[in-house]
Structure 1
Amino acid sequence: MVFKFKIGFFTDVHGSEYSFKRSLNIAKARKVDFLIVSGGLMAKEILFVEDTGGKYFLNGKKVNLNNLNEEALRSGKYIVVDKKEVIEDIKSDKSKLEKVISEKVTEQMSRWVKIADEVFRLERIFWSAGHGDIPQLDSILKNFGGKLINENVINIEEIQIVSLGYGSPMGNSYREIPDSELYIKGKSLLKDADKERLIMNFHMPPLNTKLDNAKVGLRKSHVGSKAVLDLITEFQPLISLHGHVHESTSMDKIGETIALNPGSLYQLGDPSIVTFEVHKELKSFGSVSVSKYIIKNIEFVSTNPLDVV
């Protein structure tokens, strides 16, 4: 007897509505049963456009506002249009800037939850914020009906998913903690997990693997987390899902665990999603039945003929 279902996973869309919608469309076209949308949801950049009475300027250069808005949807940026004095006031006041960012994130997530429900099915989508996402993002998504799984253990079709969005310190992100603390938080979540049916969804990739090779200056370096590597080695989940390092689209093995990073092409507005099947194989030995979960048919998808913006 064989039982199976398909999971889709994408991460680090960073405010790109094109990338988000196209990844959803691929999940639908690939007939995914459940979808995990992981960390790096909000945009990394905010553009302040000066309104001079019908003419618009960005950094002193005249711009077409319609074109700029369209490009922002593609590459993932928030746009604030206002008078020069208002913009300068926002920039000079941290609390006002944070309020504007929160409003922009709320506006976008309201739209994204509706899109997710229309393209896919909201009740089959699970959201997990990452270390670049504002702390309010969790409550924002919950208020719009999103199922949050960050810092939690959930069950999907007999499978356990353990999620953690914290990242190693970078000095400019909202949810960064020392690697030692990341290990403690992760172990606390995993301590009662059943590794025979476990999926780890930790935003940081494991250190010194194919998943964490980032370009730093003119060289490539491993920038992942030793804590995450140690936790995978210790708990040996069926599969572990990661992001953060956009250019490291890859699969690796850590012991018996398959580790995946779908990467990110958000700046181009392109999708980057990985799908896989969870099979439950039941074998009978006389009156005794033994079940085993297996990961099969892993597929990385960046483009697709059915991928429609």
Structure 2
Amino acid sequence: MTQIINEERYVIIYTVDLHGSEKMYKALFKISLRENVNSIVIGGDILPKSYADDLIGVQKKFIRNKLIPMFKKFKKENPSVTVYLMMGNDDFKINMPFLEEGEQEGYFKLLDMKVHKLNNKFNICGYGHVPPLPFLMKDWQKHDTKKTMDLSDKCDKKFRELIMCKDEQRKKLEKEYLLLLSELGYNHHIHHYNVKGILSVEKNDETTIEDDIKSLAKETSPEKTVFVIHAPPWNTELDIVYPDGAHIGSKAVREFIEREQPMLTLHGHAHESYEISGQFMEVIGKTVSVNPGSEYDRDKLNAVIFDVYNLKCMKHIKFED
């Protein structure tokens, strides 16, 4: 691929929540070449999602046998295109060393809690953790803010009771769990859960999402930085989910955007937000925030293409190869 170098043009294609769909990865590469992008950015949940008994092994195998070879081939054929990616809340942290091997080989750059230079003017950084929610895997879950730590602990403990309880206790515990969620400010529903699932592999430290993003922001100039944050800002068009239109985003992320006003934030996590709201973008003050949505279960790629020098011309695409 021959690419025209122009400092006043830097085009990014952004997608998220591919969940190991090979068709979507191939579609992503195809569109990237067609649009002559400078960078590909993938905002988390990059590995297969299933209820397999050995999901850790499934994800490890995907990284080694599918993901690394795909990006190796793409980088060899398109050396001028830089790929940035990170894990999300459905990707097991224990497999991170295998992604780090790919980064060391130069196939892509990992984003979580790192700042990279896009070009001489702009930076990009990432953050993969999400607030506590009713999902079995807890590797990428953290308290949202210090104010909610105690309540989040109670909520998480109640969820663990719920997934292990006897049938006759279920309705009572579900009611108690939903009440705790509502106290946290989430009008949420109970997701399908599987008692054979793994609750946690990696224990997170005691910092909050609020702490981490503040720390990350100190390493760069927010007004000249693209922040890739898996959790969308709370109470926006970008964090709505089925079946009841609940908002599942991060209050810490919302507060960070309102306070620091970064140039652009890229999100995911709430797959159906675009389908429900019809909006892939929301402007908060001077900040443009984006969630393209995900249809990984249909192998249909949702992505956003934009030039960092002209965010007004951002476009949303759906692609089915």
- Band of TM-score, shorter chain: 0.7 to 0.9
Q: 4+ residue stretches of structure 1 with deviation over 6 A? A: none
More helix per residue: 1 or 2? 2
Task: Report 1:11-90 matches (<5 A).
Answer: 11-45=16-50
Partner residue, 1:207: 234
Partner residue, 1:164: 127
* Preserved CA contact (<8 Å) 1:278 1:296: no
Task: Report 1:101-250 matches (<5 A).
Answer: 101-117=59-75, 120-121=78-79, 124-144=82-102, 145=105, 146-157=108-119, 158-170=121-133, 171-173=135-137, 174-180=139-145, 181-216=208-243, 219-249=244-274, 250=280
Q: Distance in 2 between matches of 1:97 and 1:275?
A: 32
Q: Distance in 2 between matches of 1:120 and 1:300?
A: 23
Task: Work out which structure has the larger RCO, using CA pairs closer than 8 Å and 6 or more positions apart in sequence.
Answer: 1
- Deviations along 1:26-79, one digit per CA (max 9) or x if unpaired, are 1221111111122000111155xxxxxxxxxxxxxxxxxxxxxxxxxxxxxxxx
TM-score, with structure 2 as normaliser: 0.70
* Preserved CA contact (<8 Å) 2:40 2:81: no
Does 1:7 find its partner at 2:12?
yes
- Deviations along 1:5-40, one digit per CA (max 9) or x if unpaired, are 111111100011111111221122111111112200
Shift of 1:257: 0.4
Q: CA, structure 1 residues 107+32, in 2 after alignment: closer, same or farther (shift >3 Å)? A: same
Partner residue, 2:316: 300
Q: CA, structure 1 residues 110+232, in 2 after alignment: closer, same or farther (shift >3 Å)? A: same
Amino acid corresponding to residue 138 of structure 1 in structure 2: M
Q: Distance in 2 between matches of 1:9 and 1:230?
A: 23
SS in structure 2 opposite 1:211? coil
Q: CA, structure 1 residues 31+227, in 2 after alignment: closer, same or farther (shift >3 Å)? A: same
* Preserved CA contact (<8 Å) 2:17 2:46: yes
Partner residue, 2:182: none
More strand per residue: 1 or 2? 1
Instruction: Select between 38-47 and 240-249 the one with higher mean Cα deviation.
Output: 38-47
Shift of 1:104: 4.0
Percent identity (aligned) = 27
Amino acid corresponding to residue 231 of structure 2 in structure 1: M
* Preserved CA contact (<8 Å) 2:112 2:126: yes
* Preserved CA contact (<8 Å) 2:38 2:80: no
Q: Distance in 2 between matches of 1:298 and 1:97?
A: 36
Provide structure 1 residue ranges, at least 5 long, that are not aligned to the other structure.
48-90, 280-293
Amino acid corresponding to residue 303 of structure 2 in structure 1: I
Shift of 1:121: 4.2
SS in structure 2 opposite 1:4? coil
Shift of 1:124: 0.8
Amino acid corresponding to residue 278 of structure 1 in structure 2: V
Amino acid corresponding to residue 160 of structure 1 in structure 2: N
Provide structure 2 residue ranges, at least 5 long, that are not aligned to the other structure.
1-5, 146-207, 275-279
* Preserved CA contact (<8 Å) 1:9 1:275: yes
Q: CA, structure 1 residues 97+19, in 2 after alignment: closer, same or farther (shift >3 Å)? A: closer
Residue of 276, 290, 294 corresponding to 2:306: 276
Greater C-alpha Rg: 1
* Preserved CA contact (<8 Å) 1:152 1:189: yes
TM-score, with structure 1 as normaliser: 0.72
SS in structure 2 opposite 1:163? strand
CA RMSD of aligned residues (A): 2.3
SS in structure 1 opposite 2:142? coil
Shift of 1:147: 1.4
